[in-house]
Homo-oligomer: A and B are copies of this chain.
Amino acid sequence: MPRRTLDNPIVLAVLGLLLEQASHPYQMLAELRQRSDSHAAAITRGTLYNTVAAINEAGWVAVQGQQRAGNRPERTVYALTDAGREELVRRLDDQIRNPEREFTRFLGAVTYLGALGPDGAVEALTERAQRLRQRTAADEERLASARSAGAPRLYVIEAEYALCLARAETAWIDSVIDDIRTGALTWPTT
């Protein structure tokens, strides 16, 4: 029972992967997991199979054939169609042109930062900043090693973007912590 609307972020990821090479869902997932944690985190298997089936019905991919290794379940290999290629470009263009208001968990939490009290807020924010820094360092290393392995910059551009945002967030958190400490950001006495 595949879906109708097909406006979810997985669609773009699937089309993008298939642009590079024909593949079966399980392999796509493995590929996504390997490339980027953020991609993979947002996808579960059930959803992926369902989405691929729907994309197939939409005519953006076609079954290229069945494969079988030993007596494992058969793998259905999909390839991008011309319509799929067009759709990919259309979506890409649209999603880049139109910024959406994203609602992240952190944004939701920051809204009620007050409820932690000044000390609790400083403590929690400090830990986040520290974790962010660790993660950023690890990501920078991965990026550097990808580069020195000869990966064209275009292929790692999304890592650059993610890093840029992470750095901005870290800097912001630092400044808030500072403002709480110096009294530039105070708790209203209610």
Q: How far, in angstroms, from A104 to B153 measured CA to CA in the complex?
A: 21
**Which of B128, B154, B158 touches A188 (beta carbons < 8 Å)?**
B154
**Which of B37, B92, B107, B121 touches A161 (beta carbons < 8 Å)?**
B107
Chain A contact residues: over half helix, strand or loop, or mixed?
A: helix
Q: Provide the A108-133 mask, 1 if CB < 8 A to any CB of B, else 0.
A: 11111111100011001101100110
The answer to whether B116 and A92 touch across the interface, beta carbons within 8 angstroms, is yes
**Residues of B close to A64: CB separation below 8 A:** none
A4 at the interface (CB under 8 A from B): no
The answer to whether B12 and A131 touch across the interface, beta carbons within 8 angstroms, is no
**Residues of B close to A188: CB separation below 8 A:** 152, 154-155
Q: How far, in angstroms, from A42 to B106 measured CA to CA in the complex?
A: 14
The answer to whether B39 and A128 touch across the interface, beta carbons within 8 angstroms, is no
The answer to whether B38 and A102 touch across the interface, beta carbons within 8 angstroms, is yes
The answer to whether A115 and B88 touch across the interface, beta carbons within 8 angstroms, is yes
Q: Kindly list 19 other residue pairs between chains A and B, CB separation below 8 angstroms, not including A19-B112, A92-B115, A97-B127.
A: A12-B105, A16-B115, A37-B101, A38-B107, A41-B100, A88-B115, A92-B113, A95-B106, A97-B124, A98-B128, A98-B131, A99-B106, A106-B161, A113-B154, A154-B186, A157-B185, A164-B172, A165-B165, A167-B168
